[in-house]
Chains A and B, each alone.
Chain A
Amino acid sequence: MTAVADTVAESAAGNRYDVAVIGAGPAGMAAAAAAAENGLHVALIEGGRQLGGQYFRHPAPGLNEPWASQLHHGWSRFETLATRVETSSRIDVLFEHQVWAVEAGFNILTDRGPIAAAHVVLATGSYERVVPFPGWDLPGVFTAGGAQALLKGNLVLPGRRVVVAGTGPLLLPVAASLSVAGAKVLGLFEANHIRGYAKHPLPLLKNPAKLLEGADFARQFLRARVPLRSGLMVVEAQGTDALEAVIVARPDGTHRRRIACDALAVGYGLAPQIDLALTLGCEHKLLTDGTVALRVDTNQRTSLPGCYAVGETAGIAGVESALVEGEIAGLAVAAGVAKSRNGSPAALRRRRDRLRAFADVLRARHPVPPAWRDHLAPDTLVCRCEEVPARAVAEAVEDLGATDARTVKLLTRAGMGWCQGRVCGYAVACLARRDPTEPPNPADLLAAAKRPLARPVPLGVLAEQDRRNK
């Protein structure tokens, strides 16, 4: 890695990179390495202070605990990849550069100034989707990935007695890490029934490693006495000024059980972080779980010439496909620059297709149970930032006649806060439907994924704070 440019003025001084990779998670690292190894000059732009993204998040040097190494499986893969990135003389790693917009051409606008590049690879990952329930705003309630990030980055537990709940494959590594780090995991509650997997034998059989991984978790939970229950969800969090207990029940509200705990890690799947691309005009696709992802071709090209999308931005699929897609895109950009007709190797693309097919099965098996709406109380906050209760949203829809999320937002301010609707966008899109059996309107789901600025930096309000966050 060449010296990290302190200011962009310096890094961009008159020079235009062959490719700018936005996001240094597994996907972005692989893309940068592959492109550089094939002769391209790369800017790897990352808002944070380390390589690795979510999956390979790791503590700062000097932090240690006896169990820390058990938080990661296959750590050597990260080391290999990090070495490829760090030893390349063609990659400038630009940490602490928040990209807030990308202009066609490409001009990448960061809080430290613009960066010019002929191609751009979007590797901005995802954020977690959580639907509201009474008490979800109590301190002690974390997103599942948030609990994981706290642990992997700080080696700090969210609590001593923890419930893990929601839906989706992320719950497994989260429960496993918490347990390894010494928390008592009182239960992993998967809202969907797991038996449905049998309906999709092919993608499962073609990904034996995934099946083994599942079996590994099962063994680990058995050993640590972590009860794994499916068909149950957290319908309420209780406490005065912080979490004291959760109520777990079937989605229809039966089989209620109170579990005293000091932390809840809850998540209903991940949503691609694609605001930069949507603003650029890249085509999107709506996935079966209501998330919006970028449409890409077999070489990870988006609909916009020169713009590629890899990893979670092309639809949630996990670390394995993030890694292959990064390689594919890096090679494809290089082939394009060299005017070679070979894109990326077919073997890589086949592997990617297998992993993607598997991800589609997971997605279909882990929808947000529509019954989440039934458990809202009138004063349950839907929008945490603007403190908009479910009552206000219901009034907007039922009394004031709002039929889309935008109108609900204008009437209630839901989604107008600091997070720009990342947290409540999906819920508001659902609640804008008066008839709870109707799936949310695709336009509302798209609106929830799209925001003019990927980062609030230029609004000035937060500029100061972001400087401090450096």
Chain B
Amino acid sequence: MSVQFTFDGHPLTAQSGQTVGGALLAAGVRSWRTTRFQGRPRGLFCGIGVCFDCLVTVNGEPNVRACLAPIADGDVVTTQAGDGRG
């Protein structure tokens, strides 16, 4: 079953059962966070919730681990800058 979500405003499609990270990578998106100090892009690294590199903002909530969180229909996913607390 496919689910619709947006990433930084762009509509994308994923398969239900995928994680946010899986959905983004399947759509060709490789990074969704910029680091706190150097502003460098980051995406998935360890894939199992250990490294915290994959943090992303989902529906306004920052610091969601994209490798663990399931994607849901209507999710609004946005690139997270720094710690995501503005």
- Residues of chain A having any CB pair with chain B under 8 Å: 47-49, 54, 59-63, 127-128, 137-143, 145-150, 153-158, 241-242, 384-385, 387, 417-419, 422-423, 462, 464-465, 468-469
Assess the B30–A143 pair: CB atoms within 8 A. no
Most chain A beta-carbon neighbours within 10 Å: one of B17, B35, B45, B68: B45
Assess the A156–B1 pair: CB atoms within 8 A. no
Assess the A419–B31 pair: CB atoms within 8 A. no
Q: Answer yes or no: B74 CB below 8 A from chain A CBs.
A: no
A155 to B17, CA, bound (A): 10
Assess the B47–A146 pair: CB atoms within 8 A. yes
Assess the A150–B25 pair: CB atoms within 8 A. yes
Chain B nearest Cβ from A237, distance in angstroms: 12
Q: What is the total number of residues of chain B having a CB less than 8 Å from a CB of chain A?
A: 42
Q: Given A154-B26, A465-B63, decide whether A241 and B50 contact each other with a Cβ distance below 8 A.
A: no
Q: Given A150-B21, A241-B31, A387-B36, decide whether A465 and B47 contact each other with a Cβ distance below 8 A.
A: no
Assess the B17–A468 pair: CB atoms within 8 A. no
Assess the A153–B46 pair: CB atoms within 8 A. no
Chain A residues lying within 8 Å of B35, measured Cβ to Cβ, are: 387
Chain B residues lying within 8 Å of A418, measured Cβ to Cβ, are: 52, 55
List the 10 shortest-distance A-B pairs measured between CB atoms, nearest first: A60-B17, A146-B47, A154-B22, A418-B52, A139-B43, A139-B31, A149-B47, A139-B30, A465-B63, A63-B17
Q: Mark B38-66, 1 if CB is under 8 A from A, else 0.
A: 10111111111111110100100111110
Assess the A419–B41 pair: CB atoms within 8 A. no
- Number of A-B residue pairs at CB separation under 8 A: 127
Q: Tell me the interface secondary structure of chain A in the complex.
A: loop
Assess the A469–B21 pair: CB atoms within 8 A. no
A63 to B62, CA, bound (A): 27
Chain B residues lying within 8 Å of A385, measured Cβ to Cβ, are: 51-52
Q: Answer yes or no: B4 CB below 8 A from chain A CBs.
A: no
A149 to B31, CA, bound (A): 18
Q: Answer yes or no: B6 CB below 8 A from chain A CBs.
A: no
Please name the residue on chain B nearest to A158 by beta carbon.
B25
Please name the residue on chain B nearest to A53 by beta carbon.
B48
Assess the B65–A465 pair: CB atoms within 8 A. yes
Please name the residue on chain B nearest to A455 by beta carbon.
B49
Q: List 25 A-B contacts (CB under 8 A).
A: A60-B17, A62-B15, A63-B15, A63-B16, A63-B18, A137-B40, A137-B42, A138-B41, A141-B45, A142-B46, A143-B51, A145-B46, A146-B44, A146-B45, A154-B21, A155-B15, A158-B44, A241-B31, A387-B35, A387-B40, A423-B46, A423-B51, A462-B63, A464-B61, A468-B64
Assess the B50–A468 pair: CB atoms within 8 A. no
Chain A residues lying within 8 Å of B50, measured Cβ to Cβ, are: 127-128, 419, 422-423
Chain B nearest Cβ from A271, distance in angstroms: 10
Chain B residues lying within 8 Å of A61, measured Cβ to Cβ, are: 17
Q: Given A387-B38, A465-B63, A465-B64, decide whether A150 and B46 contact each other with a Cβ distance below 8 A.
A: no
Please name the residue on chain A nearest to B31 by beta carbon.
A139
A384 to B44, CA, bound (A): 13
Assess the A146–B46 pair: CB atoms within 8 A. yes
Chain A residues lying within 8 Å of B23, measured Cβ to Cβ, are: 154, 156
Q: Given A139-B31, A153-B19, A468-B69, decide whether A147 and B52 contact each other with a Cβ distance below 8 A.
A: no
Chain B nearest Cβ from A449, distance in angstroms: 13
Chain B residues lying within 8 Å of A47, measured Cβ to Cβ, are: 49
A338 to B39, CA, bound (A): 59
Beyond A139-B30, A156-B23, A464-B61, 14 extra complex contacts between A and B, CB < 8 Å: A54-B48, A60-B18, A139-B41, A145-B48, A146-B48, A149-B48, A150-B67, A153-B22, A154-B25, A387-B36, A418-B55, A423-B46, A423-B50, A465-B64
Most chain A beta-carbon neighbours within 10 Å: one of B49, B50, B61, B63: B50
Chain A nearest Cβ from B22, distance in angstroms: 3
Assess the A60–B16 pair: CB atoms within 8 A. yes
Assess the B53–A384 pair: CB atoms within 8 A. yes
Assess the A465–B61 pair: CB atoms within 8 A. yes
Chain A nearest Cβ from B28, distance in angstroms: 10
Chain A nearest Cβ from B86, distance in angstroms: 15
A35 to B79, CA, bound (A): 46
